[in-house]
């Protein structure tokens, strides 16, 4: 059955259709075991009384949108072909990590 599904997906890709991936692929025993070990390592290795310094202050997740600022001083100019908005560079986790958080 897997070959038939793969052949159908290949045919759709050739036609230019959108292929929707499986959002939650099935996990094997090894993947489950690695997740369990990671959760255990995080639980034993991190003191919950201490805040995560990389998720506080300037690095804290931004939950709300910031309104546009008007009247800012401008020096120079932007190229005409550059349009859009600059949102943020860096991590901004939307959800609490499953098994700890790493800076990168």
More confident residue, 95 or 37: 37
What's the pLDDT band for 101 if we cut at 50, 70, 90? low
Give pLDDT, residue 41.
82
Contact yes or no for 26/85 (Cβ under 8 A): no
Give pLDDT, residue 97.
67
What is the C-alpha separation between 99 and 91, in angstroms, rounded? 17
pLDDT digits (tens, 9 = 90+) for 79-90: 888 888 777 666
Closest CA to 97 of 34, 58, 52, 32: 52
Whether the predicted pLDDT of 17 surpasses 60? yes
Contact yes or no for 91/30 (Cβ under 8 A): no
Closest CA to 66 of 85, 83, 82: 85
Q: What is the mean pLDDT of the chain?
A: 75
Whether the predicted pLDDT of 42 surpasses 60? yes
Residue 70 tokens read as 């008007």
Percent of the chain with pLDDT over 90: 0
CA 86 to chain centre: 18
- Cα angle 14-18-23, degrees, rounded to a multiple of 5: 125
CA 17 to chain centre: 25
Mean pLDDT of 10-29: 71
**pTM to 2 decimal places:** 0.31
């Amino acid at each position: 059955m897997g070959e038939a599904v793969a052949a159908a997906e290949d045919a759709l890709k050739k036609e230019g259709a959108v292929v929707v991936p499986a959002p939650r692929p099935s996990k094997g025993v090894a993947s489950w075991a690695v997740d369990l070990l990671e959760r255990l390592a995080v639980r034993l290795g991190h003191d919950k009384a201490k805040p995560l310094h990389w998720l506080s202050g300037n690095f804290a997740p931004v939950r709300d949108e910031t309104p546009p600022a008007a009247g800012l001083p401008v020096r120079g100019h932007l190229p005409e072909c550059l349009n859009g908005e600059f949102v943020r560079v860096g991590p901004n986790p939307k959800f609490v990590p499953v098994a700890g958080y790493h800076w990168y």
